[in-house]
């Protein structure tokens, strides 16, 4: 019962098969191979535009290289206070950007909005060079509370960004889950609504180790070859990334994987709603559930082998302070989550409640 993270899963079979197929003979190194080129072509087709793509091994690298491309070291990046870049990547954003500031806002909301940005920008702080100026906004799709930004949400955000000359970055570690939820075309959620750079994650969504930084505006990408190299993220056997992305995108495999994960999150949510003691905190949209449940029950689940993480209490809705008897935990499903895993989880709960 692994609900700790979608990265606890292995790679899907088609992706593994692609790695195997690519593992033959010699190719040029450092991404100058046809697997890489093919993956780029597929990305271009999927996003219906020309784009600059840089493959990297981790989501942290993808996000932080993207930000380093967009802001100067004396600028500030605005993001939701629960975002991965501010909560879960150590001080990598500061490191990669040469010391830009990362500023979390929208503290008790479950999504960043244009209004949050407008409010922050209205608070003054335009005394240059004393005040650090905002250079970019970063949003996560689907975000760290399992919430999905609609095309309209993003459009409003990017509109506000443009008023202030800010670049817009999207952390798409679970972009496929968002696309699956919205049934949109990828273009409709990115460059067509003003996203400048997308960190597109495959690792959490069925790959073994494959992330891409996608620039919809080539000018923004000019420093990237240098930034990636000097951060040690230009791997020599580039076919590892090319083959995975190629298989992931082929024939909508990426969306099938995301559909599977999302559906199992919905299914689990349905099952958990039956229990009065368990509260689902945020709407279940992608592949993450945030619930509160009695501590003894949560501990029992852990003891029975269920894996999940306690989540940051700072990121509860403001009206819902955590009472001392509950745990606030996150459950994540993946392409590998089966009905059996969900049922077993629910069964443990039922058994526990019966006996307590």
For a copy of itself, what does the binding mask look like between residues 176 and 215, x meaning CB under 8 A? Answer: ---------------------------xx---xx------
Nearer to a copy of itself, 159 or 226 (CB): 226
> Least distance in Å: CB of 140 to a copy of itself?
15
Note whether 313 binds a copy of itself by CB under 8 A.
yes
For 203, residues 6+ apart whose C-beta sits below 8 A from its C-beta are 7, 58, 59, 173, 209, 210, 211
User: Is-contact 199 169, C-beta < 8 A?
Assistant: yes
Residue from 61, 70, 197, 268 touching a copy of itself (CB under 8 A): that is: 61
Q: Report the site for a copy of itself in 237-256 (rule: CB under 8 A).
A: 237, 239-240
Query: Is the CB of 182 or the CB of 247 nearer to a copy of itself?
Result: 247
Residue 303 within binding range of a copy of itself, rule CB under 8 A: no
Question: Which C-beta is closer to a copy of itself: that of 35 or that of 282?
Answer: 35
Output the furthest CA–CA distance in the chain (Å, rounded): 65
Residue 50 CB burial class (10 angstroms; 0-12, 13-18, ≥19): exposed
What's the min distance (Å) between Cβ of 127 and a copy of itself? 8
Strand partners, 54: 213
Smallest gap from Cβ 136 to a copy of itself, in A, equals 14
Distance CA 61, CA 332 (A): 22
Return the residue of 169, 174, 181, 233 that touches a copy of itself, per CB under 8 A. 233
219 contacts a copy of itself (rule: CB under 8 A): no
Site for a copy of itself in 123-182 (CB under 8 A): 123-125, 127-132
- We find the least distance from the C-beta atom of residue 187 to a copy of itself, in angstroms, to be 27
> From the CB of residue 1, how many other CB atoms can be counted at a distance below 10 Å?
20
Cα 162 to its chain centre, rounded Å, is 23
Binders of a copy of itself: how many residues, by CB under 8 A?
Answer: 84
| Residue 337 near residue 261 (C-beta atoms within 8 A) | yes
3-state SS class at 134? strand
**Which residue of 50, 115, 299, 310 would you call a contact of a copy of itself, by CB under 8 A?**
310
DSSP labels, 32-66? -SHHHHHHHHHHHHHHTS--EEEEES-HHHHHHHH
Report, in Å, the least distance between residue 215 CB and a copy of itself. Answer: 16
Cα angle 148, 149, 155; round to 5: 170
Applying CB under 8 A, does 305 fall inside the site for a copy of itself? no
Query: In the complex with a copy of itself, which residue's Cβ is closer, 123 or 276?
Result: 123
Nearest residue (CB) to a copy of itself, 237 versus 267: 237
* Rounded CA separation 113/159 (Å): 11
Nearest approach, Cβ of 265 to a copy of itself (angstroms)?
16
10 binds a copy of itself (CB under 8 A): yes
Tokens read off for 55: 């493959």
């Amino acid at each position: 019962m692994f609900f700790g993270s979608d990265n606890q899963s292995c790679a899907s079979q088609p992706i593994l098969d692609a790695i195997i197929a690519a593992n033959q003979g010699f190719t040029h190194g450092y991404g100058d191979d046809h697997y890489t080129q093919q993956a780029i072509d597929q990305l271009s087709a999927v996003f219906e535009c020309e784009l600059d793509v840089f493959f990297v091994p981790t989501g942290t690298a993808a996000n932080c290289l993207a930000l380093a491309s967009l802001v100067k070291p004396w600028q500030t990046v605005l993001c939701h206070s629960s975002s991965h870049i501010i909560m879960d990547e150590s001080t990598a954003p500061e490191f990669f950007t040469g010391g830009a500031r990362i500023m979390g806002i929208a503290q008790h909301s479950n999504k960043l909005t244009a209004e949050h940005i407008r409010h922050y920008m209205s608070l003054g702080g335009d005394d240059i060079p004393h005040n650090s100026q905002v250079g970019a906004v970063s949003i996560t799709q689907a975000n760290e509370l399992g919430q999905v930004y609609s095309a309209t949400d993003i459009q409003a955000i990017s509109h506000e960004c443009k008023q202030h000359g800010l670049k817009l970055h999207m952390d798409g570690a679970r972009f496929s889950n968002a696309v699956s939820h919205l049934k949109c075309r990828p273009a409709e959620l990115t460059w067509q609504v003003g996203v400048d750079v997308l960190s597109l994650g495959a690792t959490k969504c069925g790959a073994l180790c494959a992330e891409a930084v996608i620039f919809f505006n080539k000018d923004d990408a000019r420093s990237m070859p240098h930034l990636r190299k000097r951060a040690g993220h230009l791997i020599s056997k580039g076919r590892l990334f090319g083959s995975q992305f190629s298989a992931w995108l082929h024939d909508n495999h990426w969306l099938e994987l995301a559909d599977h994960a999302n559906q199992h999150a919905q299914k689990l949510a349905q099952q958990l709603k039956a229990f009065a003691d368990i509260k689902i905190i945020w709407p279940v949209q992608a592949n993450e559930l945030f619930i509160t449940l009695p501590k003894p029950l949560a501990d029992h689940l852990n003891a029975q082998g269920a894996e999940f993480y306690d989540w940051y209490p700072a990121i509860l809705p403001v009206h819902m302070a955590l009472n001392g008897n509950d745990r606030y935990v996150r459950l994540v499903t993946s392409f590998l989550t089966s009905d059996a895993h969900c049922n077993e989880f629910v069964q443990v709960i039922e058994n526990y409640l019966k006996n307590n």
